[in-house]
Amino acid sequence: MKYEFPQDFWWGSAASGPQTEGAADVDGRKPSIWDHWYDIEPGRFFNDVGPANTSNFYYQYKEDIQLMKETGHNSFRTSIQWSRLIPDGIGEVNPKAVDFYNRVIDEMLANGVEPFMNLYHFDMPMSMQEIGGWENREVVSAYSTFAKTCFELFGDRVKHWFTFNEPIVPVEMGYLYDAHYPNVVDFKRAVQVAYHTTVAHSLAVKEYHALEQGGEIGIILNLTPSYPRSQNPADIRAAHIADLIFNRSFLDPVTKGEFPADLVDILKEHAILPTYTEEDLAVIKNNIIDILGVNYYQPRRVKAKEYAAHPDAPLMPEHLFDNYEMPYRKMNPYRGWEIFEKAIYDISINLRDNYGNIPFFISENGMGVEGEDRYRTADGYIDDHYRIAFIKDHLKWLHKAMAEGANCKGYHLWTFMDCWSWANAYKNRYGLVEVNLDQDYKRTIKSSGRWYKELSDNHGFAE
């Protein structure tokens, strides 16, 4: 069977500035929360590997963009680091950063690679975190100014903009589960951070549309479908609550301009509604996105609560449902994530049926594997056949959704080249291209990278 995709389909990959650029303390860049956290707690990072150097894109971007071309990219998403462009979060723009991002954008366009540019990928400037981060309205205003600055500097050439990547992740990891800085465990503060992030997003959308630059602006959401253990009403209710908290908390306001009423009721019931204004709600209502990026990695499986939480324990989302491990589920053992390809179809059909068939693209999907060196061939490249199979199995379900009317415009893999991955550092490799940290960041295309070129050239694949 031939799985054929449109001629103008976006084939590419996604990355971020803080995970690839390196050059963390040169040319005027100032620390982000990641630099600070590593300085004070290096033991929280896999093998004590911090964010200073990452994959050296700052110096090797020309080589990397050539490799994008060689691996079939017609598009590529990365991010502009706030801490590089406006090092203090507010105030002066760094001319060396402007020069760098101009050179990257121009090089991409010269090689037929359309730039997709994201503005915030978990990388709060430390100067902004010191005044409260997303809990502080001043930071919301500073972000809006940062966004407008980016549009004015680069919007003549960048026509695909995204305000945030996975905005639920800093909420979860930084304010609920002690997995990212600032390591807060407080549901009410988490809700405030989520709310202010939504306001910041909407203000950036407003700024972009006002400039009338002829492009489009959206947001990148990691949509993780919540599947109930059974059709028992209690399990279905539990899955609905998880979906409200982890998916619809951002999906609804950015596409429909309002928060789900059921979610607001839950926040009221537990006395954790954020501080808000009617003016904010009007900004959210009137500034919805043009396009949605969908990151998909794993499903969430949920069941009704079996035991009540301890009365003295801090309130958590899991006080309202239990996570459920389905027997015999297919797993990526290196990441600890379930592999469930059909969810990419379910997401697409949900967007078709419940979100006005909004234009979207798969902005991340990928498989991280530890110890890939064991798959090295005699010719010196990594034969990552498992990654090819992973991509194919997801594309089959995406193809089915598109055949049934889902409005998908492209597929971006996470990621182009092996990169530093937050607290996991280089534990798992995701790239189409190997980065050898022991040989001056030497790049070598993997089997998946060569196959991805065929996929893009043929607008699909046959089986």
Helix axis angle, 385-403 relative to 342-354, nearest 10°? Answer: 30
Is 341 a catalytic site residue?
Answer: no
435/381 Cα distance (integer angstroms): 11
Dist. CA 231–CA 343, nearest whole Å: 18
* Cα–Cα nearest to 122, from 171, 161, 162: 171
Q: Encode 246-296 in three state secondary structure.
A: HHHHHHHHHHHCCCCHHHHHHHHHCCCCCCCCHHHHHHHHHCCCCEEEEEC
DSSP designation for 422: G
Of the candidates 182, 91, 81, 206, the residue with the CA atom closest to the CA atom of residue 134: 182
Of 141, 250, 240, 130, residue with least CA distance to 194: 250
From 166, 207, 364, 434, the catalytic residue: 364
Q: What is the rounded CA–CA span in Å between residue 135 and residue 325?
A: 34
Report DSSP state, residue 335: T
C-beta separation of 298 from 338 below 8 A? yes
Tell me the CA distances in angstroms from 196 to 71, 330, 365, 397, one per residue in order: 39, 37, 27, 35
Q: Which residues are catalytic?
A: 364
